[in-house]
Structure 1
Amino acid sequence: MVTPATILLVLFLIVPVLLAFGLSFTNARLISPNPPRFVGLDNFVRAFTADPTFVRSLVNTFVFAAVVVPLQSALALFMAILVNQKLRGVTWFRVIFFVPVVTSIVVISVLWDFMYQRDGLVNSILDTLTFGAVQGTNWLGNTDTALGSIIVLSIWQAVGFHMIIWLSGLQTIPEELYEAARMDGASAWQQFTSVTWPGLRSTMVFILVTITIQALGLFVQIDVMTQGGPLDSTTTLVYHAVQQGYRRQETGYGAAISLIFFVIVLVVALIQRWLTRDKD
């Protein structure tokens, strides 16, 4: 019964990982008359010593994750608490918040690209709210604002998905606990810290790990909106690996970057899991 799934996992997961591991130690190219040659750790040494774009992409990736993970998880929890109220029409708000998640990220990136232009919607809103006091800027063309603009877009697009996960966790907490807390005179904040947050522990672990993995794997928004620019201010590890491996046809070097990315994601996920473990 498990044979079909096992075959698919082997063909599309295990084999590609093994091939990438092997290629990372060679100078293989997509189109080359010469056969691949074993170069040892040269690709990894090149990444950290002779490729400033790789170092910049590494920094950008960690900055993106460091901002997105706490902000997105906190905003999603706040939204989940709001839509968990037993109010008339609250289902519509759940649907509205979730719509960006089921919309193609490519379509969303194109739309936000237009919004971020100098004559786009964002600058028009700022001009209206400030009565012309704030001059518009090309948000994606400015090295100081490009990555921040991608961060805002990414949080807006994905927060609805994690809101639903938080909501499912909230609905597993027995109402009797809140009634007991209210009878004891607990305030809303005390109910959250003593009842809600402890009841969301397993949900919190899942959300932190998934948001972190998604943040570290940022690619589509960069590929559609900025192509790593301006001046590599939005280049990420995944985008740089694709650039080197396919568009510049340096398959061996691209595989080495992918392997580095895999190790980073694995280490970060294990650290998060250890920090959020059940200490009892």
Structure 2
Amino acid sequence: MTTTSSPARSGSSSALWAGFRSVRPRRSPAGRTEARAGLAMALPALTLLVLFLVIPALLAFGLSFTNARLISPNPPRFVGLDNFVRAFTADPVFLRSTLNTFVFAGVVVPVQAGLGLALAVLVNQKIRGVTAFRVIFFVPVVTSIVVVSILWRFLYQDDGLINSFIDTVTFGAWHGMAWLNDPSTALGAIIVLSIWQAVGFHMLIWLSGLQTIPEELYEAARMDGASPWQQFAHVTWPGLRSTMVFVLVTITIAALGLFVQIDVMTQGGPVNSTSTLVYHAVRKGYREQETGYGATISLIFFVIVLVIALIQRYLTREED
């Protein structure tokens, strides 16, 4: 049995489609020209992102499932999940590097964020000479981290300035210690250096957030009899929510990617007490020429950072 649509239904469908086409926005020639110009201006940046970010990431993903070596007469061979099994069961340095990375991030993130906020509140006061203090706190940020690491390595030496200061303060009762050569203090010494070097940057971010809070809110709080701590808890901190999210994300990513300080000051020692995931991946992939295994560590590191970022995003999400 053959069914046919009625003329009325066919006509209504045609009218509906014609109406949809009539209300659909049409881009003017000037708009199309503007879109092409925008694409042309973005094309160089997109090309660099594809060449130096997307393609290397895809290559690293593929290499992580092979036994590829940097210089080898044998072609790479697919080994499946062997590299991942090796990382978690047969490579104690990987496990120690993972622990060191989390310890470093667990200390640096809250301390650096809190200290940066305290400094921002301090330099946000309307007092004479506050600009000089802002510059002093920000100078380490614009100084090369390699230069800073070399200077602090000299400070941490047995006859360095830190031990000399300790010897002077204690009147010779304690001559200090080999900070970078002791497994119990090496990572802590690098933590102190990293916080000192980067706290000025996050102080500036906190300061920019503080200056966006209207002064009228503080005046209203003072008229209601709010103490300085109550003003901070009920006016300052809620106004810094978006700034707080940005600071936490940037500090976490930088802390998890710790590399330069380790490479310059300790090379992962002593006894792998300062080795991190990024440093271990570089050491395996380039210095020991195990490209496939180094790519595996990099992929694991990427997953860890992604999971932590998603958790942070969930914990700091906006509540309706």
Task: Give the TM-score normalised by structure 2.
Answer: 0.87
Unmatched 5+ stretches in structure 1: none
Which residue, 196, 207, 214 being the options, matches 2:254? 214
The residue aligned with 1:28 is 68
By how many angstroms is 1:25 displaced?
0.3
Q: Distance in 2 between matches of 1:171 and 1:72?
A: 20
The alignment covers a number of residue pairs equal to 280
Q: Distance in 1 between matches of 2:273 and 2:300?
A: 20
Deviations 1:71-108 (A, max 9, x none): 00000000000000111111111011000000000000
Q: Distance in 2 between matches of 1:233 and 1:221?
A: 13
Report the RMSD for the aligned CA atoms in angstroms: 0.6
Which residue, 177, 197, 209 being the options, matches 2:217? 177
By how many angstroms is 1:154 displaced?
0.1
By how many angstroms is 1:180 displaced?
0.7
Is 1:60 matched with 2:100?
yes
Question: Relative contact order: is structure 1 or structure 2 higher (C-alpha 8 Å, sep ≥ 6)?
Answer: 1
Amino acid at match of 2:45: A
The residue aligned with 1:82 is 122
Amino acid at match of 2:164: S
The residue aligned with 2:189 is 149
Q: Distance in 1 between matches of 2:252 and 2:281?
A: 19
The residue aligned with 1:19 is 59
Which residue, 249, 255, 261 being the options, matches 2:301? 261
Q: Distance in 2 between matches of 1:132 and 1:201?
A: 48
By how many angstroms is 1:243 displaced?
0.2
Question: What SS is found at the alignment partner of 1:2?
Answer: helix
- Identical aligned residues as a percent: 80
**Contact 2:70–2:286 (CA<8 Å) still a contact in 1?**
yes
User: Where in structure 2 are the equivalents of 1:1-280 lying within 5 Å?
Assistant: 1-280=41-320
Unmatched 5+ stretches in structure 2: 1-40
Q: Distance in 1 between matches of 2:192 and 2:67?
A: 38
Deviations 1:31-88 (A, max 9, x none): 0000000000011100000000000000000000000000000000000000001111
Deviates more, 1:83-92 or 1:235-244: 83-92
Q: Distance in 1 between matches of 2:128 and 2:110?
A: 30
Question: What SS is found at the alignment partner of 1:134?
Answer: coil
By how many angstroms is 1:271 displaced?
0.3
Q: Distance in 2 between matches of 1:240 and 1:6?
A: 30
Q: Distance in 1 between matches of 2:250 and 2:308?
A: 11
Which entry has the higher C-alpha Rg, 1 or 2? 2
Question: What SS is found at the alignment partner of 2:180?
Answer: helix
